[in-house]
Structure 1
Amino acid sequence: MNLKNQLETHLTQIVRDRDPYMASAGHFFVQEYIRASFAQWGSVDIHTFYVSGKACKNLILNLPAADSQNRDLPPILIGAHYDAVPSSPGADDNATGVAVLLELARMFATQPIKYPLQLVAFDMEEYGLLGSIEYAAKLQKEQQPLRLMISLEMLGYCNSNPGSQIYPPPLQHIYPSRGDFIGLIGNWRTLRDLINISRSIRKVGVASQWLPVPNKGHIVRQTRQSDHAPFWDAGYPAIMITDTAFLRNPHYHKPTDTIATLDLDFLTGVCQGLEKGIRRL
């Protein structure tokens, strides 16, 4: 099966009501689907944390470096949240990120890279980045260094009409008005990685724009709205890969966030470009 079909197969399983409270059966189904997908490539660690007595789960797949001499290098962490808001099937937000996460797991398990990898499916992002806050704090407490953290946050909505992309000011004067690119947003420490991964994405034929932000993103608050932000706050180099969410996608957090609204060729290109970019780190 080719990559586009693989991604679509994942999407058909993940896209459903899966709010942890209002649609707990759907949430559990997706959790188990991710766990089973990860389990094909290694043992799955479950990081349990509690929210008002409710047990929540981050799912983690650790993959070794290609060369055993590099197994002590700081890992690259790639994450995506699997929960969704109530009454939305969450196709773009964030089934697209999870689908790409599962495919990157397959790619890097069968052909390892220079660095060890941690692939993490975060829970409770929609309730205030709770899963990533807990996990970043855990790594910080353990004094675990990271080569880079990459958050996959909405990767499949594309609109090439002029004016389809909006921005928080003053970014509209710098970036294109068509929402047909994938965005990379990182803290200053990731500048070289932003440039290199963006270049790899462009090489596969997908437009890409990158933005380094100072001060942990507090100047442009919209840059903090995903699971990379707790890693910025903990002092880690971290990047969000995104189609810019509500700044482009009119179906954001709505019942209309369905597979039919996605551009699967765009999503496939993003996945291919990310694989190439991560391999070059």
Structure 2
Amino acid sequence: MDIIRKAEIDSNRIKEHIGFLSAGVRQSRANLKHLDSSMEFIIGKFKAEGLDVSTQPVSKGKIKGNNIIGKIRGTASTDSILVVCAHYDTVWMSPGADDNASGVAALIELAGILSKIPIKKTVWLVATDMEEDGMVGSRFLAVENKDKIAAAINLDMIGYATETPGSQQFPRQLKENYAAIHDRLQAEGMKANFILNFSNANSAALRNAFDSLSRQYVPGMKTVTLEVTDDGKQFPWLFRASDHVSFWDQGIPAISVGDTAGLRNGGYHSRKDHMTALNYEFLTGVIRATLATVLAHSGDLTN
């Protein structure tokens, strides 16, 4: 489909988005000022593309936050929503360029593309808050909209990649369960040069779509795809550590797309998570693959 191949996904514009967001910590207890300015930045970008924007208050005890929802109305269906989400908060000490300004930048780029074309099904681009506090924002979103959300794509850390041999870690606990993937990566030199796309069994169709569409529309991008057992409860530290879990727990199909976080990015959850470490060509490819998956889910992908 030409719209996917011709979509203008500008790496310099992405750098500007990430540069603003990662100028400081984005957390209410550590830097409320920059968290608020980041929220206004995202809202402004969504509104500039003509999205219907609202905020959703979320909380955990005394801690409060806000999801940012940018809605693109479907031409044929408005009661079946595809959510594309990325959390915009950080841990207390990190500027969070990869975690997760990279995902939020993807939302902003998708807003600029999807707002200009007619799509059959409604899409919500959601910048979630308080992911680092236990997926609080996405849980509020999934619970309150359980009957509306058909599926979700979670983008969490999608910007770090390198061709350096040995740059990708593979936890020994996973070798038995995912031996074929381990052997493939080992044969290729354990390079951190792929995007990981995983889901539970209920989300296989969406996961397979992302995988096949990535090969079709971003042939230079390597993808590793896998299905986790028991909703990721066997290895929760790896497979239940981001916003996709909130949708799984409500029975909503969801995939998680990411660069494997601390298994390759040495700046993960630290002061070293800077924008200079990111691979913007790689990030652009992930956004293009996500765009293809959105259009396929909406029924707008004809070839």
Q: TM-score, normalised by structure 2?
A: 0.86
Quote the residue 1:159 is aligned against.
Answer: 162
Alignment of 1:1-281 (within 5 A): 3-15=10-22, 16-40=24-48, 41-65=50-74, 67=75, 69-72=76-79, 74-140=80-146, 143-144=147-148, 146-168=149-171, 169-170=174-175, 173-175=179-181, 176=185, 177-203=190-216, 204=218, 205-221=220-236, 222-281=238-297
Q: Structure 2 vs 1, CA of residues 223 and 54 (structure 1 numbering), >3 Å: closer, same or farther?
A: closer
- Corresponding letter in the other structure for 2:124: Q
State, as a whole percentage, how many aligned pairs show the same letter: 32
Q: State the distance in 2 between where 1:179 and 1:54 align.
A: 36
Structure 1 runs (4+) deviating above 6 angstroms are: none
The two structures, once aligned, show a CA RMSD in angstroms of 1.6
CA positional deviation for 1:201:
2.0
Q: Secondary structure at the match of 2:28?
A: coil
Q: State the distance in 2 between where 1:114 and 1:43 align.
A: 16
Moved more, 5-14 or 148-157: 5-14
- Corresponding letter in the other structure for 1:255: R
Gapped regions of structure 2 (runs ≥ 5)? 1-7, 298-303
Q: State the distance in 2 between where 1:133 and 1:180 align.
A: 31
Moved more, 147-156 or 159-168: 159-168
CA positional deviation for 1:167:
2.6
Q: Secondary structure at the match of 2:195?
A: strand
Q: Is the 8 A contact 2:206 2:254 kept in 1?
A: no
CA positional deviation for 1:80:
0.5
Q: State the distance in 2 between where 1:126 and 1:159 align.
A: 26
Q: Secondary structure at the match of 1:280?
A: helix
Q: State the distance in 1 between where 2:286 and 2:271 align.
A: 25
Q: Structure 2 vs 1, CA of residues 2 and 273 (structure 1 numbering), >3 Å: closer, same or farther?
A: closer
Q: State the distance in 1 between where 2:206 and 2:119 align.
A: 16
Q: Secondary structure at the match of 2:198?
A: strand
Q: State the distance in 2 between where 1:161 and 1:243 align.
A: 15
